[in-house]
């Protein structure tokens, strides 16, 4: 999600890899994780913010609250690679709950540079309506990734009985929606939880996921004061389950190893009146993360981790 210009950021040539080192990430997750798996990460690389990937970047105590997994996907990773298998809803532990999934960007944004570059009011300032997003060095786009994970997540949540709504479905609308419209979509749906799915576009060696929480904003049309607390609860549960289900570590370049980042510059959060978070599932510009993000099996685990976190939040368990 880091790219903010109106035009597509073309694939870049990979930089020479630095020597790997084994990093042991030890973090306790209340009620679920007893410890981190020893993880081989790309070491010695400076992140976009100048941080170095090292064991020191990981917090010794995780803030996550993970819940026992809710397994509703078949063992072979169904649905298929596009995640569009039909799923029922209306009966189950989430019956009566509404979840809004916001797939970051839109595959059609590339053909609508003028429209997505239009400035919209996000309360604190004005920003582009939307962007094209980033991609892996081999050209797998963030928009394609987010839509695939959104389809998989929808299937999982519907199997739990939730009513699930997507802000867009790739071809409808043809571009966008704008970031302010994405927020209003969740508000109009009276969503019990909303999540925006993304993947980052940082430098090689910058690895891991992070969940973005809304900060306290009260300016213009933005007032997040009532959702800051429940959104933090939602984000913490999503982060804890995501790391457990995917094995992806918290970001080594933002969040100081917690996997949680608070921001007040995102219209999709600023204008929300329902509990909402963003998740950056990994860094598309890092070769190790890219190998995961382009794997259908891993995307199914990513959807499962997000689903488990949302289920935990909505059930209060």
Rounded Cα distance between 90 and 83, Å, is 20
Question: What fold does the segment set 93-315 form as a domain?
Answer: Aminopeptidase (3.40.630)
The tokens 């980052």 sit on which residue?
200
Lowest mean per-residue pLDDT among 23-37, 106-120, 159-173: 23-37
Which pLDDT score, from 0 to 100, does residue 170 have? 80
Of 5, 230, 231, 266, the closest CA to residue 123 belongs to: 266
Quick check: 184 and 268 in contact, CB under 8 A?
Answer: no
Position 1 confidence tier, pLDDT thresholds 50, 70, 90: low
At 302, is the secondary structure helix, strand, or coil? helix
Which pLDDT score, from 0 to 100, does residue 6 have? 32
Rounded Cα distance between 157 and 79, Å, is 13
Q: What angle do CA 196, 200, 203 make, to 5 degrees?
A: 170
Pair of tokens at residue 237: 């549960």
Position 317 confidence tier, pLDDT thresholds 50, 70, 90: confident
Quick check: 132 and 3 in contact, CB under 8 A?
Answer: yes
Rounded to a whole number, what is the distance in angstroms from the first to the last CA of the chain?
A: 31
Rounded Cα distance between 156 and 133, Å, is 25
Lowest mean per-residue pLDDT among 87-91, 160-164, 283-287: 87-91
The tokens 């913490």 sit on which residue?
236
CB atoms within 10 A of CB 9: 18
Residues 6 or more apart whose CB falls under 8 angstroms from that of 292 comprise: 246, 248, 282, 298
For residue 74, pLDDT beyond 90 = no
Residue with more model confidence, 260 or 88: 260
Average model confidence (pLDDT) across the chain:
80
Mean pLDDT for the stretch of residues 174-192:
98
Which pLDDT score, from 0 to 100, does residue 54 have? 29
pLDDT-above-70 percentage for the chain: 72
For residue 22, pLDDT beyond 70 = no
Residues 6 or more apart whose CB falls under 8 angstroms from that of 38 comprise: 22, 23, 24, 25
For residue 24, pLDDT beyond 60 = no
Is beta strand 163-166 parallel, antiparallel or unpaired with respect to 38-42? unpaired
Query: How far from chain centre, in Å, is Cα 145?
Result: 11
Evaluated on CA atoms 61, 226, 216, 234, the torsion sign reads positive
User: pLDDT tens-digit profile of 193-252?
Assistant: 999 999 999 999 999 999 999 999 999 999 999 999 999 999 999 999 999 999 999 999
User: pLDDT tens-digit profile of 254-264?
Assistant: 999 999 999 99
Which residues are the active-site residues? 280
Structural element, H or E, at residue 200: strand 193-200
Which pLDDT score, from 0 to 100, does residue 91 have? 84
């Amino acid at each position: 999600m880091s790219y903010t210009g109106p035009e597509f950021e073309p694939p870049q040539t990979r930089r020479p890899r630095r020597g790997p080192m084994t990093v042991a990430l030890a973090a306790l997750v209340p009620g679920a994780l007893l410890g981190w798996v020893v993880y081989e990460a790309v070491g010695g690389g400076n992140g976009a913010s100048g941080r170095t990937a090292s064991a020191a970047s990981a917090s010794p105590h995780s803030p996550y609250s993970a819940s026992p997994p809710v397994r509703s996907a078949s063992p072979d990773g169904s649905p298929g690679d596009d995640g569009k298998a039909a799923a029922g809803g209306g009966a189950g532990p989430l019956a009566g709950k509404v979840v809004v999934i916001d797939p970051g960007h839109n595959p059609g944004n590339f053909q609508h540079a003028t429209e997505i570059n239009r400035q919209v009011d996000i309360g604190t300032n004005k920003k582009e309506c939307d962007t094209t997003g980033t991609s892996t060095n081999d050209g797998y786009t963030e928009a394609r990734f987010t839509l695939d994970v959104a389809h998989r997540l929808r299937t999982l949540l519907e199997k739990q009985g939730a009513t699930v709504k997507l802000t867009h479905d790739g071809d409808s609308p043809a571009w966008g929606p704008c970031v302010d419209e994405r927020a209003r979509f969740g508000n109009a749906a009276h969503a019990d939880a909303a999540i925006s799915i993304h993947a980052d576009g940082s430098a090689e060696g910058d690895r891991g996921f992070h969940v973005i929480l809304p900060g306290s904003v009260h300016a213009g049309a933005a007032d997040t004061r009532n959702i800051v607390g429940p959104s933090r609860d939602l984000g913490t549960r999503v982060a804890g389950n995501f790391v457990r289900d995917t094995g992806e570590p918290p970001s080594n370049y933002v969040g100081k190893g917690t996997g949680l980042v608070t921001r007040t510059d995102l219209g999709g959060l600023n204008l929300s009146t329902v509990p909402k978070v963003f998740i950056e599932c990994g860094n598309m510009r890092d070769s190790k993360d890219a190998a995961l993000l382009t794997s259908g099996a891993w995307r199914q685990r990513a959807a499962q981790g997000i689903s488990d976190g949302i289920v935990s939040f909505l059930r209060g368990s």
